[in-house]
Structure 1
Amino acid sequence: MVRRVGNNTNRRWCWSWCCDLTTNEEEEVQVLQHLLFDVVMVGESEDKWRWIPENSGLFSVKSVYSLLMNGRVMQDLNPNVLTALQALWENDIPSKVGVFGWRLLLDKLPTRSALASR
């Protein structure tokens, strides 16, 4: 996929766009180049997906849950809601019931009033 937009020459990335870029796209490329400035290409290995929060590099719902529970996302929640969220995933219930409970506790159900306020 990455090779479609450029190639690695002398450990530097050379862009190869399929068409002319708009002014906005050129600005985005500048930002991207700044972000990638210190990145060094290693060999000719294939690209691969890697989930950084997990040591194995493999994605799992459990790792996302841990990330959310340990991160700032959950700090603002009422302690009773946090306890209920933890209990949802520790019980032997169907996953769709757990997801419903999760959305209910986080006030994310698509009710009429919730949809009207969006």
Structure 2
Amino acid sequence: MIEVRRATPGDAGALLGLQLRLDRESAFMLLEPGERDPSAGRGLGRRLLERAVTEARQAGLARLELTVMCHNRPALGLYLACGFQVEGLRRSALEVGGRRVDEYYMGLLLE
């Protein structure tokens, strides 16, 4: 069972290691098909995002914002399912693998 909890300063090293690993393995912040065994982490992204929304509400934040590459359909689907809405399009916002790609600007009102 994977525990979802608020990160502490003691988690900084492990979180940085995870971010560096993802940077090497994927052009996305999330996984691409075949990178990891889906049976071990199925639903984890949703649980983490739902926990982040809960923490943000408890902290009194009014909204959350994020960006996602337009062709990253799994992540886009997750964000939409969790209540985020597309608020804008940033054309040719990033360069990935020598190609310019668009990204969506998304937001979730917490009030």
- TM-score scaled by length of structure 1: 0.21
Whose strand fraction is larger, Structure 1's or Structure 2's?
A: 2
Q: Which has the greater radius of gyration?
A: 1
User: Which is richer in helix?
Assistant: 1
TM-score by length of 2: 0.22
Q: Quick one: higher RCO (CA 8 Å, sep 6+), 1 or 2?
A: 2
